[in-house]
Amino acid sequence: MSHVPRSPDFPFERDTVNRAASTASETVRNAARNLRGVSFWAAIVLPISYLPLLSGGLTGGETLLFVALIAINAGAFVLGHDYEPAAAR
């Protein structure tokens, strides 16, 4: 009769898989929270960039730039609307 070595116990394997899944989900949550934070602050700061464009009048390519800035600001507003600066501390 040959002796076949046993594989590691399943609870240890499950623990390793659960730990890896927990770490991955925590990483995704952190990335989402960081994206919300950056989007929130971008939505606040981006309108400052409208002033130089509007003060000189919009010509040719500046109109496209202005529309792009408004679109980016709208996207930042949507992505960052759930961010709570007090909760980030």
pLDDT digits (tens, 9 = 90+) for 39-89: 999 999 999 988 988 888 888 888 999 999 999 999 999 999 988 887 665
Q: Does the predicted TM-score (pTM) go above 0.85?
A: no
Domain assignment present for 73: yes
* Structural domain containing residue 79: 10-88
For residue 81, give both structure tokens: 């609307």
Within 10 angstroms of residue 13's Cβ, the number of other Cβ atoms is 11
H helix or E strand, kind and range, residue 25: helix 10-45
CB atoms within 10 A of CB 43: 20
**What letter represents residue 19's amino acid?**
R
Q: How many domains would you assign to the chain?
A: 1
